[in-house]
Amino acid sequence: MEWTDDAVILDTRRHGETSLIATLLSREHGRYAGLIRGGAGKSKRGILQPGNQVRAQWRARLAEHLGSLTCELVSAHAGYAMATPVLLSALSAACAVAATTLPEREPHPAIYEGLAVLLSSLQGDDWPSVYVKWELGVLGELGFGLDLSECAVTASRENLSHVSPKSGRAVSMAAAKPYEDRLLPLPGFLLGSGGGSHTEILDGLKLTGFFLTRHVYGENGQTQPDARARFVQTMRNLTVPVR
């Protein structure tokens, strides 16, 4: 059994004195783990950082085996992000969300492509908006997509301002007014192509976090990853918003 694919390193853990077990999100094969012999050594340490894009080759005698991995570096996103704490926090959160939400060995090329776009966006200004949109895409790929196309009450497509926590559908400003304290804010950038303000980014993280917890983590008796919780707190604590 063997495949070669583009992938993003999600996490690694030591195995023995010199090896690592790495978890990857590959474009065509989904979330996969494998043993990297010598992965703990200095020559490979820089390559095998979460967030880095690699060209990965997986081999095993039988499909159900752990298998072995070799990785060739394509883009060192981790090296760039390490210079800025909030970028490193975002990168770590995205890798943790991918590692904990996606079923093993189930292809989700759209999530991979979205993650690749997010990692590349870390060198620009709109990466916080891209991050929220990526989590929204993860929900959709897993079958829990939100319906933001029209108001759940009036069917209007204008002035959508909130999301129902029960149905995951948008609600217009007028229909939401009597129930604002029970609804989730809908940031405007999720309805268009532009970036969001700092407040909108926080609202977006609250929105995706709520539905990730309800439909993914809560269903499995889990909580959201610590890395995501730290990222959200880092964004809240910013004295100078990233946008």
pLDDT, one tens digit per residue, over 139-165 is 999 999 999 999 999 999 999 999 999
Question: What is the model's pLDDT at position 17?
Answer: 87
21 plus 59 within the same structural domain: yes
Structure tokens at 172: 């217009």
28 plus 141 within the same structural domain: no
What pLDDT band is residue 29 in, cutting at 50, 70 and 90?
very high
- The Cβ of residue 140 has, within 10 Å, a number of other Cβ atoms equal to 13
Structurally, the chain folds into a number of domains equal to 2
131 plus 202 within the same structural domain: yes
Adjacent-strand bridge partners of 159: none
Question: What is the model's pLDDT at position 242?
Answer: 66
140 plus 52 within the same structural domain: no
91 plus 211 within the same structural domain: yes
Q: How far apart are CA 152 and CA 163, in angstroms?
A: 9
137 plus 196 within the same structural domain: yes
Asked if residues 206 and 186 have their Cβ atoms less than 8 Å apart, the reply is: no
Q: How far apart are CA 45 and CA 20, in angstroms?
A: 10
Whether 178 is covered by a domain: the verdict is no
Where b means 16+ CB within 10 Å and e means fewer, 41-51 reads eeebeebbbbb
Question: What is the model's pLDDT at position 211?
Answer: 97
Question: Of 24, 51, 75, which marks where a domain is finished?
Answer: 75
pTM of the model: 0.94
pLDDT, mean over the chain: 94
54 plus 111 within the same structural domain: no
Evaluate if residue 10 carries a pLDDT over 70.
yes
Average pLDDT of the segment spanning 75-99:
96
Average pLDDT of the segment spanning 122-147:
96
Structural domain span for residue 27: 2-75
Average pLDDT of the segment spanning 54-80:
94
Whether 167 is covered by a domain: the verdict is no
What percent of the chain lies above the pLDDT cut of 90? 86
Question: What is the model's pLDDT at position 221?
Answer: 86
Question: What is the model's pLDDT at position 42?
Answer: 84
Evaluate if residue 19 carries a pLDDT over 60.
yes
